[in-house]
A = this chain, B = another copy of it.
Amino acid sequence: MRISGLAAATGVPVATLKYYLREGLVPPGAATSRTQADYDDTHVARVRLVRALTESAGLSLAAVRDVLAALDDPPMSRHGQLGAAHHALVAAEGEGMSHEEPGAVDDEVRGRVLELVAERGWCDDPLLVDRLGEQLRAADAAGVAVSDGYLRALAAAADRVAAADLSTVRGEPADALRQVVLGTLLTDPLLVTLRRMAQERASREAAEG
């Protein structure tokens, strides 16, 4: 399959595919001559993955590159593998976020986050803790109070989602990484949409009942 075939198979314009090739988001095809290369199903899958990650998960191309790099070149330690990919994922998502802001997370908010984390037995990865603290601070600054009870309700729901996430991983451990990372990135927006749907019913019930 040549580049026009790849374009036809994925619905992505040839010019865009050339751009992705240049940026290293899609590996080069097997060169059959100086002006010809062959693309196969792995290229089709890669292109579709890039599109899903940008269009559906809302990642920037730079973030996509980082995630793909983490998946293509997995760290060897069996225990650290998932964690490392997870870290890459978290870091990639946070690109373009402000680090070391003037309004950095103060100790009160951080304490609140650490308390929750300890309660749930979660990890205290500073990247995640800071992000959560920042999000709580932003909500507060916008005049939306996040009560402890509400935060715990969200945390309980997150625990259930995470349990479901991990239970989807069946098969070779080599695939686990890919499944969890991609699955999470692609189902984040799905979860948000489901929340909207559920809210509309809940608000109808509240209005009618």
Contacts and interface: CB of A to CB of B under 8 A. Distances in A.
A51 interface: yes
Interface string A48-92: 110111011010000000000000000000110011001001100
B86 A55 contact: no
A161 B154 contact: yes
A14 interface: no
Contact of A165 (B161, B183, B202): B202
A141 interface: yes
Interface centre among A48, A58, A143 (most CB of B within 10 A): A143
A155 interface: yes
Nearest to A194: B158
Interface in A102-160: 102-103, 117, 120-123, 125, 128, 131-132, 134-136, 138-139, 141-144, 146-147, 150, 153-160
A207 B79 contact: yes
A122 B164 contact: no
A157 B191 contact: yes
A174 interface: no
Nearest to A87: B200
Interface in A146-201: 146-147, 150, 153-169, 179-180, 182-184, 186-201
A79 B82 CA distance: 47
B141 A51 contact: yes
A35 interface: no
Given A56-B139, A122-B198, A203 B187 contact: no
Contacts of A199: 86, 162, 165-166, 180, 184
Contact of A144 (B131, B163, B182): B182
Contacts of A48: 141-143
Nearest to A85: B203
A206 interface: yes
A48 to B, nearest CB: 4
A45 interface: yes
